[in-house]
Amino acid sequence: MRAATRRFLLIYLTFVLVFLMLRTVIVPPTFGEFTDDYTYRWFRGDSVREIMQYDMKFATKEMCEQCHPEKVEFLNRGKHSTLSCETCHGPSMKHVENPTTYHPEIDTTRELCKLCHEFNPTRPEDFPQKFTDEHGYGLACVECHNPHSPWVFKRGVDNGQ
Amino acid sequence: MSEILWQVLQHVQGYIYPNEVEVNWSVLIALYPYITGLVAGAFIVASLERIFKVEAVKPTYRLALLTALAFLLCAPLPLVAHLGHPERALEIMMTPHLSSAMAGFGFVYAWYLMAVLLIELYFDYRKDIVMWSQEVGGIKGFIYKILTLGDYNISDEAVKADNKIVNIVTVIGLPSAAFLHGYVGFIFGSVKANHWWSSPLMPIIFLFSAMVSGIALVLLIYIVSSYIRGVELDRACTDTLANYLLYSYLLDLSLEFMELAHLFYTQEEGIDAIRVLITDKLFWTFIVIQVFLGTLVPIFLLIIARTGIFKFNVRKWIYIFVTTLTLIGVFAMRWNVVIGGQLISKTYLGYTTYIMPLFGPESLSLALAIWILPFIILAVLIKLLPPWEHPHEWEKTEAE
C-alpha cells in the first residue's frame, strides 16, 4: 500500500479509536441499564436512584381524604371534581408530616383561577372562560364562587348573576 | 406567555389543540433540509463527471465538491441553533438509537463527510497538493506540507491509484448523497399523524428538489466566480448544467404533481384542511413562489434557452435569473413542508400562524447568518484549494 493511503487510513483509524475512547469516558456506566433494547429506557440508570432520594412534595388527593373526607366529598360533587386538592392548595407533603405546624399556602387572587379560565381561543367554546373585563371586575373569584364547587355561591349571589 | 406566542394567539383560526399554537420547528428547521439538499445536489453534479462521464461539466467538478463540503460543514448548524444546547450535540453520536430517525442523522452525516467527501476531495487534490507544497511557502505552504502526509510521490502510477480511489468513493458517494437527503425527507414522510407530510414519496421528492437546487447553486457559483475571476464561461459546461437542471426540474415537477394528485384523489381524512392550507395559508409561498416562480417559470425559461434562439450572452442572464429563482423556489418548498405541516391542526378544524422573529434565537437574522456562512467557508476553501484548471505557476507561464 502506498504511504499516502496508509497514512490516510491511519488517521481515520486513530479518529475512530479516539471516538471510542471518548465514548467510554463520556457515556455514564449506568446508561440504559434497565432493559436490553433500551426502548423507553434511554437514560442514565442512576438518575432513577438519585430522583428516589428527593423529598416527596405532593401528597395526592387520597392522602388529603384521610383527614378531610367531607371537603373531598364536596369537591367530588362539583364541577372541579377532576382536580386534585394540590392543584390549588399546592404541594402538601409537609402538611401531612406536620399537620399542626405547617399549612399549605393558597393563592386566592384571580391569578390562580386565570391559569384555567382566562380567555384563550384554543379552549373549547363551552369551557368557562370568564376573564373578560365585565365579569366580576375588581373582585377575587372566591368572593362569590366556592372554589371547591364553583356553581355554589357565596354572598347570596345566584347562578348567572 | 411570550410576546410572539400572544401575537400568534390572535391569529389562530378555528379549533386547534393547545400544543399546536406554537410552531416549534421554525425557519431554522426549514433551512436545514435546504442546506442538506444543496450538499446532495452539488455532489450529484460532481458525480456527473466522474461516474456518468459527462465531460462537458468538468470545469465544475471540483467546484461542486468544494461547494458540497462548505455546505455540509454548515448543515448541522440550524439544528444545533434550534436545539439551543451545542454541548449536547454529540450525544446522538455517543448513544445511538436505531428506533429514532433523528438520531440516525449523526451517522449519516459522519459517513458522508468522513467516508465520502473528504476522501474524494483529498485523493482528487493529492497531486496538486504535493505540487503546491513545493511551490508555495509561508503558512499556506505549511498547510500543504501537512496535507501531503509526507508522501510526495506523484508518479503516473500514484496518480492512477489516486484516481481509482476517487472513482470507487464516488460510486459509494452517489447512493450516500441520495441517502443523506432522502433521509431528511424520510423524517417528514414518516410522521403518520400529519397528512401534509406523511407520504412514502417524500424522500424521493426531497431528493429531486435537492438535485434541482444543487445544480442551480453550482451553476450560479460557476457563473459568478467566472465573472469575479474575469474568465470566459465554458459554454458547453454552462449549457450542459442548465440542461441537467431542466431534466431534474421535469422529474421534480412530475413527482410533486403525483403527490398532490394522490392527496386529492384519495380524499383522505383532513383533505379539506389541506385544501385550505394550500389555497389560503400557503397561497403565497406554495402557489406563487414554489409552483409558479420557483418551478413553472424556470422550466419555461430553460426550455426557451434550450431552443437556442438566444445568443450565449443572453442565455447567461437567463441562467442567472433561473438559478436565483430556483434557489428561492426550493427554499419555499422546504418552508411549505416544514412550516406548512405545523400550521394545520390535527383536529383538521383549525390553523395556527407562524410569526418569524427578526432577531434572537430561531430568527430570520440567525437563519441568514447560517445561510451566508457556507459561502464564506467556500471562499476560504477556494483560496486554499483552487478548483480551476491549470493552477500551477509553470503552467501559467507556458500558457502565456
Residue B27: pLDDT over 50? yes
Q: Are B322 and B301 in contact (CB under 8 A)?
A: yes
User: What are the respective helix, strand and coil percentages of chain A, to the nearest 5?
Assistant: 45, 5, 50
pLDDT of residue B106: 83
pLDDT of residue B400: 46
pLDDT of residue A123: 78
Which chain A residue shows the shortest CA-CA distance from B115? A12
Q: What mean pLDDT is predicted for residues B21-37?
A: 94
- Residue position matching grid coordinates 483552487: B386
CA–CA gap between residue B255 and residue B359 (Å, rounded): 36
How far does A74 lie from chain B, in Å, by closest CA?
30
Q: Provide the grid cell at A123.
A: 379552549
pLDDT tens across B337-386, in order? Answer: 999 999 999 988 899 999 999 998 889 999 999 999 999 999 999 999 99
Run of H or E including A152? strand A149-153
By the 10 Å C-beta count (0-12 exposed, 13-18 middle, 19+ buried), B126 is classed as buried
Nearest to B206 by CA among B179, B175, B182: B182
Residue B5: pLDDT over 70? yes
Of A2, A22, A38, the CB nearest to B158: A2
pLDDT of residue B158: 93
B95 and A27 within 8 Å at the Cβ level: the answer is yes
ipTM given for this complex: 0.78
- In angstroms, the Cα distances linking B75 to B32, B35, B68, B340, B371 are 6, 6, 10, 21, 10
pLDDT tens across B300-342, in order? Answer: 999 999 998 999 999 999 999 999 999 999 999 999 999 999 9
Q: Provide the grid cell at A29.
A: 456506566
Identify all chain A residues contacting B18, using CB atoms and an 8 Å cutoff.
120, 122-123
- In angstroms, the Cα distances linking B163 to B50, B112, B124, B167, B169 are 10, 19, 7, 6, 10
Nearest to B128 by CA among B104, B108, B152: B152
pLDDT of residue A33: 79
Query: How high does pLDDT run on average in chain B?
Result: 91
B95 and A4 within 8 Å at the Cβ level: the answer is no
CA–CA gap between residue B37 and residue A61 (Å, rounded): 54
A23 and B97 within 8 Å at the Cβ level: the answer is no
Res. B395 pLDDT band, cuts 50 70 90: low
Residues of chain A with pLDDT under 70: 35-40, 131-133, 155-161
Identify all chain A residues contacting B129, using CB atoms and an 8 Å cutoff.
none
A122 and B149 within 8 Å at the Cβ level: the answer is no
pLDDT tens across B50-98, in order? Answer: 888 899 999 999 999 999 999 999 999 999 999 888 888 888 888 887 7
Residue A99 zone, left/alpha/beta (φ > 0; ψ -120 to 50; rest) = alpha
